[in-house]
């Protein structure tokens, strides 16, 4: 009888081990499946490229006017780096800020600014920008700044329009070099 009890106990112990391993495998599969779904929760946008800041210019106060390019550029590289620079007419170009970026949702990305001489209150900070891709290679950005460099409350949304820089089919003849 004792041999039979030992045999039944051994079967029972083996069943408990198999049940534990099966449950552990099920939990691991559920966790990795949820993590995989979370990663693919947004549609990647084509953010990478060279972008030129543009401003709406009008002679009439209540009309946005025409979109005009400026001398400020944003480079979003495919390795997640960001560099902003400005061309000073008749002089040099200067880097005004740099860091990294990553898309967070269908319509937002985070810039992790390492250094910014235009907005130094963003140095070593993360800034979430909402974006909307528009017609003609335009990207409309909106971002929030809570405080200025001196710590004064701003609590303002800033809106910017950027145009993707593209290569023309031929070299323009009217460029002064």
Tokens of 153: 């409350």
> DSSP state, 116?
E
pLDDT range class, residue 139, cuts 50, 70, 90: very high
Question: Does the predicted TM-score (pTM) go above 0.85?
Answer: no
Lowest mean pLDDT among 6-10, 56-60, 69-73, 142-146: 6-10
pLDDT value of residue 95: 98
Instruction: Please state, in angstroms and rounded to a whole number, the distance separating the CA atoms of residues 82 and 122.
Output: 14
Whether residue 137 is predicted with pLDDT greater than 60 in this model: the reply is yes
Angle at 92 between CA 90 and CA 95, to 5 degrees: 140
Lowest mean pLDDT among 30-34, 100-104, 117-121: 30-34
5-64 pLDDT, tens digit per residue, is 555 556 556 656 666 566 555 555 655 555 544 555 889 999 999 999 999 999 998 888
Sign of CA dihedral 5, 7, 8, 12: positive
Average pLDDT over all residues of the chain: 86
pLDDT value of residue 91: 93
> DSSP state, 89?
T
The SS3 assignment for 177 reads: coil
pLDDT value of residue 62: 87
pLDDT value of residue 11: 59
Instruction: Please state, in angstroms and rounded to a whole number, the distance separating the CA atoms of residues 93 and 110.
Output: 25
pLDDT range class, residue 79, cuts 50, 70, 90: very high
pLDDT value of residue 17: 64
Q: How many CB atoms lie within 10 A of CB 122?
A: 20
Mean pLDDT of 138-156: 93
pLDDT value of residue 33: 55
pLDDT value of residue 68: 96
């Amino acid at each position: 009888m004792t041999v039979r009890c030992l045999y039944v106990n051994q079967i029972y112990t083996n069943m408990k081990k198999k049940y534990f391993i099966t449950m552990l495998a099920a939990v691991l599969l559920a966790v990795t499946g949820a993590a995989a779904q979370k990663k693919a929760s947004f549609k990647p946008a084509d953010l990478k490229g060279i972008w030129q800041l543009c401003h709406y210019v009008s002679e009439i106060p209540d009309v946005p006017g025409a979109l005009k390019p400026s001398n400020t550029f944003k480079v979003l590289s495919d390795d997640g780096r960001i560099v902003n620079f400005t061309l000073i007419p008749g002089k040099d170009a200067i880097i005004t800020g740099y860091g990294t970026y990553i898309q967070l949702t269908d319509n937002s990305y985070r810039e992790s600014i390492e250094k910014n001489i235009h907005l130094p209150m963003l140095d070593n900070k993360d800034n979430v920008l909402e974006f909307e891709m528009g017609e003609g290679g335009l990207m409309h950005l909106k971002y929030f700044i809570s405080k200025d460099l001196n710590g004064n409350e701003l609590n303002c949304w800033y809106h910017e329009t950027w145009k993707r820089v593209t290569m023309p089919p031929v070299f323009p003849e009217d460029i002064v070099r």
